[in-house]
Every structure is written in C-alpha cells, then in structure tokens.
C-alpha cells in the first residue's frame, strides 16, 4: 500500500512537468492566421533555457548570466510564414538585448545595443558577395525601464518597431543572408524563436506571437 501511494505521489508531482513539455510538441500545428499566442504561457524556464539561468519572478521572466554564459532562451512554438513577434523587456546597465526570429527555417537576430548604435537584423554572409548588413538606429536603451520591440516578418520584408516607432523597414527575399546569426547553438533548432541578452540580466514582461499568414 505504501508503495502504491508513493508511486501515485511521484506521478502527481510529474504532471505539471509533463504538461509543460507538451507545450513544445513538434506535432502541434502552426498557428492559424489571426491567432495571437501568449508565448509566456508556453515557456518552461528549465527546459527552454539555452544558456545562463532563467526563471519566473512575480510578474516577469528573468534571465541571468551564469559564469561566462549569457542568458538566451528558446521559445517552444512553431511560426507561420508571416507573423508579428513582440517583446516587452527591461535590462541592466550592461545590456545588449537580443530577439531571435526565423523565416524559411533559418534563424536571424535583432540586436538592441545599449548605446543606441546601429543594430543588425540581417547580418552579411561570410562572403564578399553577400548583401550588406541591414541596420536600425535606435534610441539608447534606458536601464531599468520597460521597452518594447516588435518584429514584423513577411515573405518579402522585415519591419522593426522600437517603443512604437518604426526603426527598420527592408524589402528582402532573405537570399544571401547568413542564418548562422540566429541562435547558432548546437542545442537549438534554427527554426526556433527566442530572446536574451549578451551582456547582462534581462526581465521580460511580454512575449506575443501574432500569426499573419
């Protein structure tokens, strides 16, 4: 009898973890056009951590540096061909915020520099014949203040809004750009979207995916 109750207790403890793992199931369909997904509800910090450490605070998802590992997180969802990917975040003084997006099964990164310098969304290929990097000039990120970034991925273009203002608008078919500037990590699928920081801790208050097509 004691063994039976012990087994039952162990199973009940595992239920939330089994449910969380299911949220990233590859068998799940791509969100239909018009669908808005609260990505925060899909995230299991331990499972979806790429590097650093991640966990939920009372009202945010927090990523911290661990040793030499910067905090990067992959998000367990599929994306359609065209979508909007919004993030509301807050960083520290030494922050370089990253928003990982994908198109055509290839990963790319939008980098938000703390000094407001040019930030690259579609890096040049590692060849001389590749297109020039696409740069967006942002206002400086204010430490410990909430900011928002919205990436609109389309089959023929990418637009980025920072704090509601359009900072990048480029027409592209994505050919010639280097997908290795996505996560570029052995444990992450190139099709993954995500978020993180290159140089400090980050608080994320909102991650939303809106399917367009």
- Is the backbone of residue 34 left (phi > 0), alpha (psi -120 to 50) or beta? left
Residue 1 lies in a domain: no
Contacts of 61 (CB under 8 A, 6+ apart): 40, 43, 45, 54, 55, 73, 203, 204, 205, 207
> What's the whole-model pTM score?
0.80
Residue 11 lies in a domain: no
Domain count of the chain? 1
- How sure is the predictor about 70, in pLDDT bands with cuts at 50, 70 and 90? confident
Residue 21 lies in a domain: no
What's residue 119's pLDDT?
Answer: 54
19-23, 73-77, 91-95, 143-147: segment of lowest average pLDDT: 19-23
By percentage, how much of the chain surpasses pLDDT 70?
68
Dihedral sign for Cα atoms in the order 201, 182, 33, 112: positive
Structure tokens at 90: 């807050």
Could you tell me how far CA 100 lies from the centroid of its own chain? 4
Strand, coil or helix: what is 6? helix
CATH code of 45's domain: 2.60.120.560
Structure tokens at 147: 């900011």
Residue 6 lies in a domain: no
Residue 8 lies in a domain: no
Whole-number average pLDDT of the chain: 77
Highest mean pLDDT among 16-25, 82-91, 164-173: 82-91
Residue 205 lies in a domain: yes
Residue 178 lies in a domain: yes
Quick one: the chain helix, strand, coil %, rounded to 5?
15, 40, 45
Residue 203 lies in a domain: yes
Q: Work out the average pLDDT over 67-73.
A: 86
Closest CA to 21 of 38, 45, 53, 37: 45
What's residue 21's pLDDT?
Answer: 36
Q: Assess contact for 213 and 33: CB atoms under 8 A.
A: yes
Q: Work out the average pLDDT over 45-50.
A: 92
List the domain range (segments joined by +) for residue 91.
Answer: 30-211
- How sure is the predictor about 116, in pLDDT bands with cuts at 50, 70 and 90? low
């Amino acid at each position: 009898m004691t063994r039976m109750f012990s087994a039952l207790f162990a199973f009940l403890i595992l239920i939330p973890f089994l449910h969380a793992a299911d949220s990233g199931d590859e068998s799940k369909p791509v969100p239909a056009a018009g669908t808005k997904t609260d990505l925060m509800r899909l995230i299991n910090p331990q499972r979806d951590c790429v590097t650093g450490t991640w966990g939920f605070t009372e009202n945010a998802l927090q990523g911290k540096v661990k040793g030499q590992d910067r905090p990067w997180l992959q998000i367990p969802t599929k994306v359609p061909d065209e979508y909007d990917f919004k993030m509301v975040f807050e960083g520290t003084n030494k922050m370089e915020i990253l928003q990982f997006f994908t198109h055509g099964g290839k990963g790319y990164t939008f980098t938000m520099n703390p000094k407001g310098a040019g930030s690259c969304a579609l890096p040049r290929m590692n060849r001389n014949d590749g297109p020039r990097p696409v740069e967006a000039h942002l206002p400086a990120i204010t430490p410990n203040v909430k900011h928002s970034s919205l990436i609109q991925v389309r089959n023929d273009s990418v637009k980025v809004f920072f704090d509601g203002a359009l900072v990048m608008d480029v027409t592209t078919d994505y050919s010639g750009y280097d997908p290795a500037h996505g996560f570029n990590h052995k444990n992450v699928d190139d099709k993954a979207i995500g978020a993180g920081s290159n140089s400090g801790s980050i608080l994320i208050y909102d991650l939303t995916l809106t399917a367009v097509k």
